[in-house]
Structure 1
Amino acid sequence: MKKVIAILFLLCINNLFGQNGWEFQNSGTEMGLNSIYFFNKQSGIAVGIFNTILKTTDGGNNWDMVEFQPGYDIMFTEVLFTDYQTGYAIGSKGSIIKTSNSGNSWFIQESPSYSYLMGLNFINNDTGWIVSNKGEILATTDGGQTWLKNDSTMDVGLSDILFFNSSDGLIIGNKGSIYKTTNGGSNWIKINIPVDTNLTNMFFYNNNYGWIVGHDGTLLRTTNGGDDWEKINFVNAENLFSVFFVNDTSGWIGSWNGSIYHTTNSGRNWELQFKGKNDFDQIFGLYFSDDTTGWAVGNSGIILHTNSAGVTNINESNSILKSFMNYYPNPFSSSFNLEFANSTASAVNIELYDIIGNKIYSKSLGFLDRGTHNTTIQLNDGISSGCYLVVLRNGVDIQSMKVVKSE
């Protein structure tokens, strides 16, 4: 047993399991970031509060602040590009801005709204739509030189919009609202769904497969272009704010609680890949440039990056390092909080081993439901400083992680 523990300990040191496949990038700002978009694996734009626009040309290793001073504060909510050079961002006070040089500089477009603009979609360089938190729908057919407000203002706040072509589109919003148009937005028909929570973000991989996320763990899926929606039971009741799929099976969700979840079966099951260290690490935006390369942004200037689809360097099929574990403070003095994901409802036990494999602590948590949990590990004063191995057993999986005790 001691030999096994020692091997596990070396694995933890070499692979830093706490990274969980997502690594922090230095954004250079503490301003909250709400949206991110990459033209390719190297060049991307992130936007956020107080006129924050960041650009990278090296995959996010370095982020530079883009100069933009409109004379008033804008909270940007979304950014997207229609080609390598042409991009748009929207936000508070009805703000719409555009770039024609890959995000190096931006100029303001005239807007018929003064509301929070929440969702943005273009089907080509000229034709696009925007929705607002006041139920407004804006449209352009000339690349934003003119934006016109649609006569069909909804009676709920809208959060996202998506068009498949110039005729067929969807909008989502508060109180479980989904509307569909087949005539370019002249008329909208409400689609009945089995939820009444606020819907926040929508993503379609193609014209048929789509997903919607919302408050209280709301997750919806369609396979027929949004005509019908299936409610999928999520792992918990977190408020979900972003969703992104790279094909019809593999996707990610970001949450208010700073979590990133991954599915490999179209959303039927989700595994926790990343968890922020506090309640202020909300994840608001996700973007993947291919099946494995992605970024996430959130509060306090957080930018996360993965080039492994969010999985650890250890093969995910290795059950020893399959699920999520995190601890804080790091390092700890006498006690630490342990967060972990229980992959199946089961009895959970926690053990702590020293570097030579001696068990120095054990704790039974009893029977826990599937999902994320946390507990406090309190050690006695006789435990010396150094590296230790936490091992969590739930009858199905064994998880392990290195922890460091200070003086």
Structure 2
Amino acid sequence: MKNKYFLLTISCLLSLSSFSQWQLVDSISNGSFQCLHFVNSDTGFAYNDWATLRRTTDGGNSWDTVSIAFDSYMYDIDFANNNVGYAVGGAWFPFNKYYANSIMKTTDGGLNWDSVYGNSSGGVFYDVEVVSPNEFYAVGDYMMVHSTDGGATLDTFSISTPLESFSKIEFVSPQHGYLLGRTYVQTSTYLNRLYETTDGGSTWQVVHSDTLGYQGFTDFVIDASGNGILFGEKGQVRSNQGSGWNIVPLADSSLIFTMAEMADGRIYAIGDDGGIKKLFETSDFGNTWSSQLIPVDSNNYVVDMSFPNGGVGYFITNRHVYKNSALISIIEEKGLLQLEVFPNPTVNTVSVSLPVNEDVSVQLTNISGSRVKEMTFTDVNTFEVNLEIEPAGFYLLNVSAGGQNTVVKLIKK
């Protein structure tokens, strides 16, 4: 059976050039990565559940292991500047260095970390927002804490019910911030609320709420003008300069964004539209989205991501760290390109047909982002790609012709 691929001039298109730009820069053989944060394009940290904190200062070219007196889960890292940073996590069943509700701090760029808070009652912090070297907020299950003296003392906040969990806090200025929480209502039903403060966290008001299922709202991004997006099981709920939050349907109703970050006016989000993970990007707060494939599969899922600026991005899977240093240049609209590719799946060879003769450039990339082969053809409308010696698995075939290109996902049996 022939598979026909039609790419129209819309913003949600794929190119293999984008896929191949994601380069594997670090791997671990034990444990699983849990969180990732880059202070700038070159300096970043990745923590795994074997209590190992990996650090790079050259954009992922080399990594070392940082000593940290901490054995718990770590969910978030944030820095005030190149030297001062905080990390949060915890454990529900603490023992020894397996701290609950843990906050760690560094003052030397991440070479050394000290505990500034931890207890034995059981619990975790999911997110930390660093406002300045001495001021930060940490939120988690049933609690939020705030410090203005670098963690020497902590204030606790009671916002609503004592059983509300908070998953993210973000400040757009020292006085203006947002907080995402949810409360159990009944089986598979949760009250999700987005809060806003304009007085540095002294008071919080609900700006949007909705009763949703288990997944609920997964993340949000917002700027100083009040333009924001809530992501989750309803697709995207958008605010226009704080004038109210309204559901804006996605073109693909099956698409769910699981995490998002904003950098230099662009929003990047990881989405799943039926089993294939993609990186989505928008520069107009969700009016249009472009997408690109990323080198993951069902056994190698995205855990966290970090975009220190609009052109450089990183993400971690359970055991790998990937980098893309050409984000802006590789997310772009493409024109109409019609292909016929068959057979797919294949045992050895696939044939590709175009409607007219063209000079064609072809790249084949495996699921890890490594280029397998490159080919060029002159004035053809049919050509073949031989996968006979390649291992079984998924491949991406990029075909460029006439200034246009498209990507086909191939399965080698």
Determine the structure 2 residue equivalent to 1:253: 269
Determine the structure 1 residue equivalent to 2:24: 24
Determine the structure 1 residue equivalent to 2:143: 136
Distance in 1 between residues matched to 2:218 and 2:166, nearest whole Å:
8
Determine the structure 1 residue equivalent to 2:388: 385
* Alpha-carbon distance, 1:140 to partner: 0.8
Shift in CA distance, 26/191, structure 1 to aligned 2, threshold 3 Å? same
Q: Is the 8 A contact 2:37 2:44 kept in 1?
A: yes
* Alpha-carbon distance, 1:186 to partner: 3.5
What CA deviation, in whole Å up to 9, does each residue of 1:200-230 have, x standing for no partner?
Answer: 323334343333323x3632333335x6223
Aligned pairs for 1:5-404 within 5 A: 17=17, 19-29=19-29, 31-70=31-70, 73-92=71-90, 93-111=100-118, 114-132=122-140, 134-152=141-159, 154=161, 155-174=163-182, 175-193=191-209, 196=212, 198-214=216-232, 216=233, 218-225=235-242, 228-234=244-250, 235-248=252-265, 250-255=266-271, 258-298=277-317, 300-309=318-327, 312=330, 316-319=332-335, 333=347, 359=382, 385=388, 399-400=406-407
SS across alignment from 1:89: strand
Shift in CA distance, 47/209, structure 1 to aligned 2, threshold 3 Å? farther
Distance in 1 between residues matched to 2:34 and 2:396, nearest whole Å:
36
What CA deviation, in whole Å up to 9, does each residue of 1:360-402 have, x standing for no partner?
Answer: 89xxxxxxxxxxxxxxxxx9xxx88369995899xxx862459
Partner amino acid, structure 1, of 2:237: L
Moved more, 278-287 or 54-63: 278-287
Count of residues in correspondence between the two structures: 337
* Alpha-carbon distance, 1:120 to partner: 1.1
Partner amino acid, structure 2, of 1:77: Y
User: Which of structures 1 and 2 has the larger relative contact order (alpha carbons within 8 angstroms, sep 6+)?
Assistant: 2
Determine the structure 2 residue equivalent to 1:10: none
Shift in CA distance, 105/333, structure 1 to aligned 2, threshold 3 Å? farther
What CA deviation, in whole Å up to 9, does each residue of 1:237-279 have, x standing for no partner?
Answer: 455332122244x221024764321223321222321245422
Q: Is the 8 A contact 2:261 2:306 kept in 1?
A: yes
* Alpha-carbon distance, 1:50 to partner: 3.5
Distance in 1 between residues matched to 2:17 and 2:105, nearest whole Å:
41
Instruction: Give percent identity, aligned residues only.
Output: 20
Shift in CA distance, 96/335, structure 1 to aligned 2, threshold 3 Å? farther
Structure having the higher strand fraction is: 2
TM-score (norm 1): 0.69
Moved segments of 4+, more than 4 Å = 15-18, 332-336, 354-361, 386-393, 400-406
TM-score (norm 2): 0.69
Distance in 2 between residues matched to 1:130 and 1:190, nearest whole Å:
19
Distance in 2 between residues matched to 1:384 and 1:40, nearest whole Å:
40
Determine the structure 2 residue equivalent to 1:347: none
Q: Is the 8 A contact 1:193 1:229 kept in 2?
A: no
What CA deviation, in whole Å up to 9, does each residue of 1:324-368 have, x standing for no partner?
Answer: x9xx99xx74599xxxxxxxxxxxxxxxxx98768589xxxxxxx
Partner amino acid, structure 1, of 2:102: S
Shift in CA distance, 253/402, structure 1 to aligned 2, threshold 3 Å? closer
Distance in 1 between residues matched to 2:410 and 2:172, nearest whole Å:
49
SS across alignment from 2:101: coil
* Alpha-carbon distance, 1:318 to partner: 4.3
What CA deviation, in whole Å up to 9, does each residue of 1:2-49 have, x standing for no partner?
Answer: xxxxxxxxxxxxx96473432222233554334322222211122343
Q: Is the 8 A contact 1:292 1:310 kept in 2?
A: yes
SS across alignment from 2:327: coil
SS across alignment from 2:226: coil
Shift in CA distance, 392/173, structure 1 to aligned 2, threshold 3 Å? farther
Distance in 2 between residues matched to 1:290 and 1:18, nearest whole Å:
17
Partner amino acid, structure 2, of 1:27: S
Q: Is the 8 A contact 2:175 2:198 kept in 1?
A: yes
Shift in CA distance, 60/335, structure 1 to aligned 2, threshold 3 Å? same
SS across alignment from 1:187: coil
* Alpha-carbon distance, 1:82 to partner: 0.5
Distance in 1 between residues matched to 2:26 and 2:224, nearest whole Å:
33
Q: Is the 8 A contact 1:273 1:311 kept in 2?
A: no
RMSD between aligned residues: 3.9
Partner amino acid, structure 1, of 2:123: S
Structure 2 alignment gaps of length 5 or more: 1-14, 91-99, 183-190, 351-374
